[in-house]
Amino acid sequence: MKATNLLVLALSLTFATAYAQSEEQVLNSAPINVDGYLAEQRPVTDGELESIRSELNKQKTGTQLNKEKAKDLGKLTNQTEKLLDSQDEYIESKIESTNAIKEFNAKYEENQKKLRCIMEESSASECDPYKNKYRKDRAKKVEQELNMGQAAPVVSTANAPAALPTGAPFETIKLLLGAGATSYNGEIEQLQSELAVNLRLESNITSRFSMGIGFNYGQLKTNDFGGNRYGLNTGYYSPMAYGMGGREINYSSMGVDLYGKFFITKGERFRPYLGAGLGYNQANLKYSQNNPYQSGMSMFGNEEFKTSYATATVMAGTEILITPGFGINLEAAYSTGLGDGFSSKNSQNPFNSPDQVRLRDLGKEIIGSNALSIFAGAVVNF
């Protein structure tokens, strides 16, 4: 047992001695790089050398930074010049586009004003140059078309556009034919005509004013309601022939008048106007049933009243041209008689013929009444 312990102790001492020698050998050996080779010998250095090397590296770094900054500053300068050039181009383009827009707006407004003038929507004096130029251009175009057509065997000008009127006196002559109705509103009677027609011939004096002469005819019928009591000697009465309404009275008038019209616009198709005129008329009133009859001192039948008188008329209407030579005319006219009449004629003595008295009174009532007429008709331009 003791021998065994001594053997273990001897082996332990031997192993410890060998481990200590190997550790010292390892610590005193040269350093080894990572790749397994022996490291080179460390260079000799101190604090001053390291300071010099640090300053050298700092200056190298500053030099490199300055080079990079100079390079980028050059790029920045070029980019700034490009930016300035692009700003100049933008400013020039902005000025050009602004001027172009202003020029377009001015030209557009000028064309709109020219169009309004040519289409007769405006009658201001500033429209005259546009209208004159349009007339000249249109006349020149017609002349060119006619000259081009002269080489053909047959020359037709039926569809050639007519030249616009210049407004010279008596340049245009018009024939107007109208028909309508007239309402007579007197102090006592309110009567309605059965027929009212007129025929007029007029010509322009200027582009807006024209004068003419007209012929008119009208007629109406009414009953003599005051003559339905024979017993009172107030009128002719026969229940079998005339009934309780009294005899029928026929009224007709024919006259001539001179008038003038002022056109509110210079339109070529739609031309509203105002007008006034003076006329001379002849009127005739008589009974439809004129069988003579005498009762005592009173005479009945064959009564008739004729008179002539002057009239004053104002009118308002419009001409609507469908083609340059034809159109329609719409008009409303107000007229009244001037005085009782220039001359009158009775077929019976009013003193012994009561129906003659009422016939005469009715005639004066119609002459002095307010007559309102509505006409529609045709316009023919020559």
Within 10 angstroms of residue 11's Cβ, the number of other Cβ atoms is: 10
pLDDT higher than 70, residue 21: no
Q: Are strands 293-295 and 248-263 parallel, antiparallel or unpaired?
A: unpaired
**pTM for this prediction:** 0.52
Give the pLDDT score at 314: 97
Mean pLDDT (whole number) for 231-248: 51
Q: What's the rounded Cα separation, in Å, for the pair 364 and 340?
A: 6
Cα separation values, 23 from 27, 29, 100, 156, 264, Å: 6, 10, 98, 137, 134
Give the pLDDT score at 270: 92
Q: How confident is the model at residue 241 (pLDDT cuts 50, 70, 90)?
A: very low
Written as six digits, the tokens of 172 are 């245009």
pLDDT higher than 50, residue 239: no
Q: Which of 236-240, 291-295, 307-311, 358-362 has the lowest mean pLDDT?
A: 236-240
Find the distance separating the first CA and the last CA of the chain, reported in whole Å.
168
Q: How confident is the model at residue 183 (pLDDT cuts 50, 70, 90)?
A: very high
Give the pLDDT score at 234: 45
Q: What's the rounded Cα separation, in Å, for the pair 179 and 217?
A: 10
Q: Are strands 370-381 and 173-185 parallel, antiparallel or unpaired?
A: antiparallel
Query: How much is the mean pLDDT over the chain?
Result: 80
Q: What's the rounded Cα separation, in Å, for the pair 112 and 25?
A: 114
Q: Which of 19-28, 128-137, 270-279 has the lowest mean pLDDT?
A: 19-28
Q: How confident is the model at residue 88 (pLDDT cuts 50, 70, 90)?
A: confident
pLDDT digits (tens, 9 = 90+) for 53-78: 899 999 999 899 999 999 898 888 88
pLDDT higher than 60, residue 29: no
Domains delineated in the chain? 173-381 (2.40.160.20)
pLDDT digits (tens, 9 = 90+) for 139-178: 888 888 887 766 555 545 445 444 556 667 888 899 999 9
**pLDDT, greater one: 350 or 39:** 350
Q: Which of 42-56, 238-252, 298-312, 322-336 has the lowest mean pLDDT?
A: 238-252
**pLDDT, greater one: 254 or 21:** 254
Q: Which of 14-23, 40-49, 145-154 has the lowest mean pLDDT?
A: 14-23
Count of all residues that appear for the chain in the document: 382
Asked if residues 281 and 258 have their Cβ atoms less than 8 Å apart, the reply is no
pLDDT digits (tens, 9 = 90+) for 347-358: 777 777 778 888
Q: Which range, 18-27, 70-79, 272-281, 358-367, has the best average confidence (pLDDT)?
A: 272-281
